[in-house]
Amino acid sequence: MQQDAWNEISALGVTRDEMRRLLFLPLVYVAAASRRRDLALLDRLIESGAQAAHIDPEGAALAHGWIRETPTPAQFDCGLQLLRSQCETGEGSLSIHDLIESVLWACSAAQLDRERIGRRYTSVSNSARHAIGELESALGVEVGDLWSDVMEELGEQLPRSKNMVLPNVETLPESRHSQER
């Protein structure tokens, strides 16, 4: 990678020895594109991700800062390019598994873009969808295939709803009227 690109990455607070910190960049990219940013939920997503991916507390603190002060387009470009190449080559501490996990966090950030209206939620904004599409290109990952693979891998381990309670038809108001006749 050229020196200019490393200057962009180092401005993010990432050194060659701390590449795992770049795993938060896709999440931040989508959050930056979102129409609304729930900082508290994004902070919890970062903390959860840091714990799961064994990212040091300083790395999580950087990501919290990136959410509040968005990296430049050049920093995003260089960071995403470096993240992809490091994960694909398996050099250092990054792997394809890490890249996939990072993309899933970004998809979770896109879901936080939805707003609750009454009992329903709005759809993810076009800007967040567009950001996911740009990530797919930049990172070489197709989100639809990724989710399909995750669902297939989980298979029978998927949690099932416990809300399957059949109604007692004798206690429904309509059944009282029909019994009285």
The angle subtended at Cα 137 by Cα 72 and Cα 151, nearest 5°, is 115
Confidence of residue 22 (pLDDT cuts 50, 70, 90): very high
Nearest CA among 143, 53, 17, 74 for reference residue 63: 53
Q: Residue 24 pLDDT more than 80?
A: yes
Alpha helices (H) in 12-56, listed in sequence order: 25-33, 39-52
Cβ neighbours, 10 Å, residue 13: 15
Mean pLDDT of the chain: 81
pTM for the whole structure: 0.76
Residue 40 CA to residue 46 CA, distance in Å, equals 10
